[in-house]
Chain A
Amino acid sequence: MKMQKLLELLKDGHSRTIEMLASELNTSADDIRRQIEYLEQIGAIKQIAFPAGKSCSGCTGCEGGTGCKGCMPANAENNMGEMWEVVT
């Protein structure tokens, strides 16, 4: 069970990139990506959504809900990659 193994692997507390998971589980990055997609669908993992960048509703560059220009450049979250955490 590949997906079960993937979840087991993360229990050691260390974070991994998709490429690292692929090499540890001896499969392709695309295979890992579809597993992530599926695990996310069934609610075993969830993507971490950072509120910053959209609107932090506090800092000096914020324009009341329309977006925060102060904390990070526009669309900065796109450059931060994606992260998923295991739902416990």
Chain B
Amino acid sequence: MSATIALLGQPNSGKSTLFNALTGLRQHVGNWPGKTVEKKEGTFTHKGDTYSVADLPGSYSMSANSDEEVITRDFIASGKADVVCILADSSQLERSLFMLADYAGLSAPCFLVLNMADVAKEQGKKIDANKIEQKLGIPVMLFSATDTKSYDIFYATLERAIKEKSHINVSALEAEYQKIDGYQDIQQRISDCTIPGYTPMWLTVKILEHDKVVTAKLKNALPDEVMKHIEQQTKSSETAIAAGECKFNWIDSILSGAVTETKTKTTLGRLDRIYTHKFWGKPAVVLTVLLGLLASFIPALPIMGIGSGVDMVNGMIRSSLMETGTSAFLTGLLCDVLIQSLSYVIKMLGFVFGVTLVFGLLEEVGVMARISYVFDNTMGKLGLQGKSVMPFLVSFGCTMGGAAGARVIDNWGQKVLTIALAWAVPCGAAWAIIPMLSTVFFGAGAPLVIVALLLVMILHMWITAKIFGRKLVKTEDKCGMIMELPPYHKPKWGALMRYVFGRTKDTFFRVVKVVLLVCGIFWLLSYGGSTGENSILEKFGLAIEPVTKFFGMPWQLFLAFIASSVGKEGAVGVITALYSGGSIGTAFSEAMAGGARAANLNELLLANVTRPEALAFIFAITFNLPCVVALAATYQEIHSVKWTLKIALYYTVSALLLGCIAYHIGMLIW
């Protein structure tokens, strides 16, 4: 005797394990004719009989949603298989028996394998296969395909199914279907031979589910007026939902009394009860983020120490160079540009490392997912969809990533608004230079500045949404999302550290390039030589200073602000060049009694820039446009020159305005 078995099951039902165990090396892998779907066939012998096995492609159901499903369905309907072995995952029968429910009504004989019995047992589920068999009318077995010793029962069940040519008892299922409006009407118009291999019940259900392939086939098989009548009945989308509902009800009735489990009631964890709380959710999340930011100062401090060490070495090198009589130009180039830049870059890396570590950790353990949940409704108030929160979160790393992430939003206006708001989120480069500058100017007060920046960010986004929202988004009915929050879990430290170090390394190379280049250019422009005459840049700077002072910034900081539009790191390069290399440095050190030429830049900065000015500068560069590349990325996503420029101009103006406000508030404080 020889027989053909078809293996049918949803992905992850253990189909491949069973197929491999049955056929071993006697497999043939090819493609289904005309399709790119893999076709796996094999043979095995048992008790002298030869069986061929077709491993049908894994699919969710018997509907024609994919090539896999059409292939599966056609193969079964063709009658090539003597018996179909339907696999279900015992650990989640409610879900995985859906395939069986969808199969019911096809004419090929079948039997049911409740696979992964071991997993179900571990979960404390007791499954009575006999009871299920009685209700279904086909052989049913509890099985574990990974357990090679248990295959005798499989062979026995297989033989029984072939001998009995067993079919699923569909009366209970059909009774469910009959409750659907229009079911009986349609079913009466189809006969067993309308399309061979399919029963009228099965075909009717597929029509109700709006199955395109079945509908097309019926159009050929049935008279036009009958088909028109049928299509009238199935216009509403609810029929598909109703048909699914029937299958679920039937599955539940099959399982009831056959599966006993020690019910673990799904309750929210303690943390989730806070995060998903209607009132406390938002404060909890904001607090988490703030604490995270403060925590990122901890790993940053030792690295900052190294940066300060470089400052000291710089002073020593400078004085020894002066003693040996090296030219002032070379000394300046080496100490003011090269080493000073390096010192800043190292300090910046401290924060990049700290912030990346802390937020990578929050992400890894699953807190970020809660953040996106909590702010879902807030997004709605801004006229955005809940999923806009994802681009915002990505923008903390890189605004370009955020802009690309906005692709997930289909509506153009909402996409533009999302990107416009994402610009207000300080990016990775801002997180490098802002804490560094804050520490230089405000010392222990730096964390407070960061907190203030974050609060202003929220306000900024709110105002920006109000300004642009009216033109970009129409108020429309918004549907809530369904979210599956990931379980909290321990971070994978290896992957996390690789990410943190990788990012720190990338930032290092990028920042070094930008800072050195910008610093070098501005240093050369401002280099006054030994004549003590003002450089062209300084003359220009002094000329525009009356205007820049209005925004609370001396001309040097204003130029740094302009440079930050290209890339935020550029601002540091400008500061380094203008405050250490230019005549200010010289004038300052001459003014110092004893001519301590080796005065370090931090002291120079503190002596030349007042705290309100520093505050103005920090606010202005934080909320300036992120960088030119982000500008290009924005254009790439929204395809509108007008809106890209509009947003860019808005950010430049609002950044200066924020700087101005910060300056005046600073004047009140200090």
Check if A72 sits within 8 Å of B633, measured CB to CB. Answer: no
Give Cα distance in the complex from A60 to B627, angstroms.
12
Cα distance A20–B276 in the bound complex, in angstroms: 10
Task: Check B94 for interface membership: any CB of A closer than 8 A.
Answer: yes
The interface residues of chain A lying within 8 Å CB-to-CB of B49 are: none
A18 CA to B502 CA, complexed, in Å? 35
Q: For B483, what are the chain A residues with a Cβ–Cβ distance below 8 Å? A: 15-18, 81-84
Cross-chain contact of B408 among A10, A13, A51, A73 (Cβ < 8 A)? A51
- Check: B373 CB closer than 8 A to any chain A CB: yes
Q: A70–B482 contact, CB under 8 A?
A: no
Cross-chain pair count, CB within 8 angstroms:
218
Q: Which of B617-639 contact A (CB under 8 A)?
A: 629, 633, 636
Residues of A within 8 A of B327 (CB): none
- Chain B residues whose CB sits within 8 angstroms of the CB of A15 once the complex forms: 373, 376-377, 386, 480-483
Beta-carbon contacts under 8 Å, B243-270 to A? 244-245, 248, 266, 268
Q: A15-B373, A80-B486 are in contact. Are A51 and B245 (CB under 8 A)?
A: no
Tell me the bound Cα distance from A28 to B242 in angstroms. Answer: 19
Would you list which residues of chain A between 60 and 85 have a CB under 8 Å from chain B?
A: 60-61, 68-76, 78-85
Q: Which of A36, A51, A57, A82 has the most CB of B within 10 A?
A: A51
Whether A50 contacts B479 by the Cβ 8 Å rule is no
Which residues of chain B from 214 to 242 have a CB within 8 Å of any chain A CB?
Answer: 237-238, 240-242
Asked whether B387 lies within 8 Å of A85 as measured between CB atoms, the reply is yes
CB of B486 within 8 A of CB of A4, answer no
Q: Is the CB of A28 within 8 A of B238?
A: no
Q: Is A30 a contact of B94 with CB atoms below 8 Å?
A: yes
Measured as residues with beta carbon below 8 angstroms from the partner, the interface class of chain A is 35 or more
Q: In whole angstroms, what is the CA distance A51 to B473 when docked?
A: 23
With known contacts A18-B483, A60-B510, A50–B237 Cβ distance under 8 A: no
Of B276, B368, B405, B483, chain A has the most CB atoms within 10 Å of the CB of: B483
The reply to whether A17 and B276 form a contact with Cβ atoms under 8 Å apart is: yes
Q: Whole-angstrom distance between the alpha carbons of A28 and B443 in the complex?
A: 54
Q: Which of A20, A34, A71, A83 contacts B95 (CB 8 A)?
A: A34
Tell me whether B503 and A50 are in contact (CB under 8 A). Answer: no
Q: Are A75 and B629 in contact (CB under 8 A)?
A: no
Separation of A37 and B167 alpha carbons in the complex (Å): 27
- Please choose the segment from B60-68, B134-142, B290-298 that sits at the chain A interface, where 4 or more of its residues have CB less than 8 A away: B60-68
B336 at the interface (CB under 8 A from A): no
Residue of B nearest to A41 (CB): B60
Most buried by B among A2, A71, A75: A71
A48 touches B387 (CB 8 A): yes
Contact status B398-A79, CB under 8 Å: no
Q: Complex formed: what's the CA distance from A50 to B390 in Å?
A: 8
- The answer to whether B311 has its CB under 8 Å from any CB of chain A is no
Q: Which of A1-30 contact B (CB under 8 A)?
A: 1-4, 7, 9-22, 28-30
Say yes or no: A48-B481 contact (C-beta < 8 A), given A30-B92, A34-B94.
Answer: yes
Which residues of B have CB within 8 Å of A29? 266
Assembly CA distance A74 to B497 (angstroms): 11
CB distance from A51 to the nearest CB of B (A): 5
Instruction: Point out the residues of chain B lying under 8 angstroms from A73, CB to CB.
Output: 360, 363-364, 495-496, 499
**Contact status of A3 and B244, CB under 8 A, knowing A79-B366, A79-B368:** yes
**Chain B 49-72 against A: per-residue CB contact (8 Å), 1 yes, 0 no?**
000000000001101010000000
Docked-complex contact B479 and A85, CB < 8 angstroms: yes
Q: Give the residue of A4, A28, A44, A74 whose beta carbon is less than 8 angstroms from that of B266.
A: A28
State the interface size on chain B (CB cutoff 8 A).
72
Q: Is the C-beta of B369 less than 8 angstroms from some C-beta in chain A?
A: yes
A58 lies within 8 A of B248 (CB): no
Residues of B within 8 A of A7 (CB): 241
Q: Is the CB of B386 within 8 A of A11?
A: no
B477 at the interface (CB under 8 A from A): yes
Whether the pair B363, A72 counts as a contact (CB closer than 8 A) is yes
**Beta-carbon contact of B61 and A41 below 8 Å:** yes
Which of A16, A39, A61 is B503 in contact with, Cβ under 8 Å?
A61
* CB-based contact A19/B266 at 8 Å: yes
Q: Are the CB atoms of A38 and B98 closer together than 8 Å?
A: yes
The answer to whether A81 touches B486, judged by C-beta atoms less than 8 angstroms apart, is yes
Nearest chain B CB to A60's CB is how many angstroms away? 6
Shortest CB-to-CB span from B363 to chain A, Å, is 6
Tell whether, in the assembled complex, residue A72 and residue B495 are in contact, meaning their CB atoms are under 8 Å apart.
no
* Min CB gap B651→A, angstroms: 18
B95 pairs with A33, CB closer than 8 A = yes
- In the bound assembly, the distance between CA atoms of A78 and B60 in angstroms comes to 22
- Report whether A49 and B479 are in contact in the complex, using a CB–CB cutoff of 8 Å: no
Contact A44 B241 (CB under 8 A): yes
Query: Per a CB cutoff under 8 Å, which of B92, B387, B398 touches A59?
Result: B398
The answer on a CB contact under 8 Å between A71 and B482 is no
Task: Let me know if B397 is at the binding interface, CB within 8 A.
Answer: yes
From the candidates A28, A70, A82, name the one contacting B506 in the complex (CB within 8 A).
Answer: A70
Please, how many angstroms separate the alpha-carbon atoms of A86 and B479 in the complex?
A: 6
- Residues of chain B within 8 A (CB-CB) of A85 are 385, 387, 479, 481-482
User: Does B182 touch A at the CB level, under 8 Å?
Assistant: no
Please pick, from B60, B385, B480, B484, the residue contacting A14 in the complex, using a CB distance under 8 A: B480
Docked-complex contact B480 and A52, CB < 8 angstroms: no
Within the complex, which residue of B241, B398, B480 is in contact with A61, where a contact is CB–CB below 8 Å?
B398
| Distance between Cα atoms of A84 and B484 in the complex (Å) | 9
A68 partner residues in chain B, CB cutoff 8 A: 401
B485 contacts which chain A residues (CB < 8 A)? 17, 81
Whether B303 sits at the interface, judged by CB under 8 Å, is: no
Q: Please indicate the chain A residues that have their CB under 8 angstroms from the CB of B484 in the complex.
A: 17-18, 81-83
| Residue B372, interface by CB 8 Å | yes
B398:A74 contact, CB within 8 angstroms: no
User: Considering only CB atoms, which chain B residue lies closest to A38 in the complex?
Assistant: B244
Please determine whether B408 and A50 come into contact, CB atoms closer than 8 angstroms. yes
Q: Closest A-chain residue to B240, C-beta based?
A: A42
B238 CB contacts on chain A under 8 angstroms:
1, 4
What's the nearest-Cβ distance from chain B to residue A3, in Å?
A: 5
Q: How far is the CA of A59 from the CA of B480 in the complex (A)?
A: 30
Q: Is the CB of B479 within 8 A of A10?
A: yes
- Pairwise interchain contact A80-B372, C-beta atoms closer than 8 A: yes
CA distance A20 to B301 in the complex (A): 42
Q: Contacts A15-B481, A44-B241, A81-B369 given; 13 further ones with Cβ under 8 A?
A: A10-B479, A14-B376, A16-B480, A34-B95, A39-B241, A42-B63, A42-B240, A45-B482, A61-B397, A61-B503, A71-B401, A73-B364, A86-B480
27 A-B pairs in the complex with CB atoms less than 8 angstroms apart:
A7-B241, A13-B380, A15-B373, A17-B483, A30-B92, A31-B94, A34-B94, A42-B63, A48-B387, A50-B390, A56-B400, A59-B401, A60-B398, A72-B360, A72-B499, A73-B363, A73-B495, A74-B499, A76-B363, A78-B486, A79-B366, A79-B368, A81-B486, A83-B386, A83-B482, A85-B385, A85-B387
Kindly list the 5 A-B residue pairs having the minimum CB-CB distance in the complex, ordered from nearest.
A58-B400, A59-B398, A71-B401, A56-B404, A86-B479
